[in-house]
């Protein structure tokens, strides 16, 4: 089950006066009500065409990986991006996470660079789709 976890009117107000304060979280729960996956969209700023750019992130706990939950969470997040006029979504994916890199490519993300944070190599990717 996906649940949008923010009050719509507050988000709309923040979006109009201070878009960088808006973070839209989504969680997935198992039958016991435990969080098994989490994704978010954090607005980075307004673009000249009235849309926004955003940063995203997603985590699926290990025992729920490979079941399509990450894919469903990303599709839901994309619907949120459409609703809030997000034109660009940026993400960073650990280079060794082949499954997530494949999924991001499938959903339209393009590699724009690589970096290293601490001991991890990361792929910087972006999607323009909305």
Note the pLDDT tens digit of each residue in 55-87: 888 999 999 988 999 899 988 888 888 888 888
When pLDDT is averaged across residues 16-33 and rounded to a whole number, the result is 78
pTM of the complete model:
0.73
Give the DSSP letter string of 40-106: EEEEEEE-TTS-EEEEEEEEE-GGGTTSSHHHHHHHHHHHHHHHTTEEEEEEEEETT-HHHHHHHHH
Give domain 2-128's CATH number out of 3.40.630.30, 3.40.50.10800, 2.40.40.20, 3.30.750.24: 3.40.630.30
The domain locations on the chain are: 2-128
The residue among 80 and 32 whose pLDDT is bigger is: 32
């Amino acid at each position: 089950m996906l649940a949008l976890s923010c009050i719509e009117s507050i988000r709309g107000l923040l979006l109009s006066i201070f878009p960088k304060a808006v973070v839209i979280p989504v969680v997935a729960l198992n039958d016991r009500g435990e969080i098994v996956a989490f994704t978010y969209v954090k607005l980075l700023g307004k673009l000249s065409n009235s849309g926004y750019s955003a940063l995203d992130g997603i985590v699926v706990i290990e025992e729920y990986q490979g079941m399509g939950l990450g894919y469903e969470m990303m599709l839901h997040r994309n619907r949120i991006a459409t609703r809030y006029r997000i034109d660009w979504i940026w993400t960073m994916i650990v280079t060794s996470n082949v499954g997530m890199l494949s999924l991001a490519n499938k959903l339209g993300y393009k590699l724009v660079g690589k970096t290293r944070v601490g001991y991890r190599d990361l792929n910087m990717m972006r999607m323009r789709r909305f």
